[in-house]
Amino acid sequence: MDSEIEVRLLAITPNSEELIEKAGRLCYASEDKLGTKKGWLQARIKEGHESLIEHASATFYIRASRALTHELVRHRLGSYSQRSQRYVKETEPQFITPPEILEHPGALDIFNEAMRASWASYQALLDSGVKPEIARYALPNACVTQIICTWNFREIRHIIKLRTSPRALPEMRTVALKIKEIMKAQAPSVFEDL
């Protein structure tokens, strides 16, 4: 079954912008000016005083391919919980079809046949008594997975910058653009320049 990518915000530090500014104002003993100057946080970010934005974090639910999550968890300054292919059977074929496949005549049929064959082999291995953790070696990178990720705002800015670039994996770009849209709405003073 062809599946959709999903990105959902699950949790975020309450009053994150105020908290970050409070931390910054403490550094310069200017707490009395809290909330008085538009662009104050952006100025701190621009000058490289980025540890301030580590005080706030956000947690996302992401449903995407295993190809994507393999890259996503390379971001080391994060916490991750991912659906297990060792303890959960992937008996229902759920996979991401990259839209780029459609740009090449005949490629979709080849791709769909690979998905069918992968899951047929997976099921046959399970039926023969092989454990899910071993049978999963027959599953494709396109297999859908679910992951919950927590990052601080500094890491989220880093991920957005790196993963919305034209050099990033297209599926990753889709996810990173959605994260960017969410964060710009949630904490504009931290993310408005991106």
Ligand X SMILES: Cc1cc2nc3c(=O)[nH]c(=O)nc-3n(C[C@H](O)[C@H](O)[C@H](O)COP(=O)(O)OP(=O)(O)OC[C@H]3O[C@@H](n4cnc5c(N)ncnc54)[C@H](O)[C@@H]3O)c2cc1C
Q: State which H helix or E strand residue 59 sits in.
A: strand 57-65
Geometric angle at alpha carbon 117, from 114 and 109, rounded to 5°: 35
Nearer Cβ to ligand X (22/158): 158
According to the binding rule CB under 6 A, does residue 173 interact with ligand X?
no
Q: With binding defined as CB under 6 A, does residue 130 bind ligand X?
A: no
Taking each continuous run of H as one helix and of E as one strand, the counts in the chain are: 8, 4
Q: Is 38 in the site for ligand X (CB under 6 A)?
A: no
Out of 34, 168, 178, 184, the only residue in the binding site for ligand X (CB under 6 A) is 168
Residue whose pair of structure tokens reads 């701190």 in the numeric block: 44
Q: What sign results for the dihedral spanned by CA atoms 98, 100, 106, 110? A: negative
CB of 101 to ligand X, least distance (A): 20
| Nearest residue (CB) to ligand X, 84 versus 165 | 165
Task: Count the residues of the shown chain that bind ligand X, applying the rule CB under 6 A.
Answer: 9
Distance of closest approach, residue 162 Cβ to ligand X, in angstroms: 5
Question: Is 163 an active-site residue?
Answer: yes
Residue by residue, DSSP assigns 72-123 as HTT--SEEEEE--TTTS---S--B---GGGGGSTTHHHHHHHHHHHHHHHHH
The catalytic residue among 25, 63, 163, 167 is: 163
Q: State which of positions 49-78 bind ligand X (CB under 6 A).
A: 74-77
Please state the closest distance from residue 46 (CB atom) to ligand X, in A. Answer: 18
Residue 178 sits in the site that holds ligand X (CB under 6 A): no
The residues carrying an active-site annotation are: 163
Residues at the site binding ligand X, with contacts judged by CB under 6 A? 74-77, 155, 158, 162, 167-168
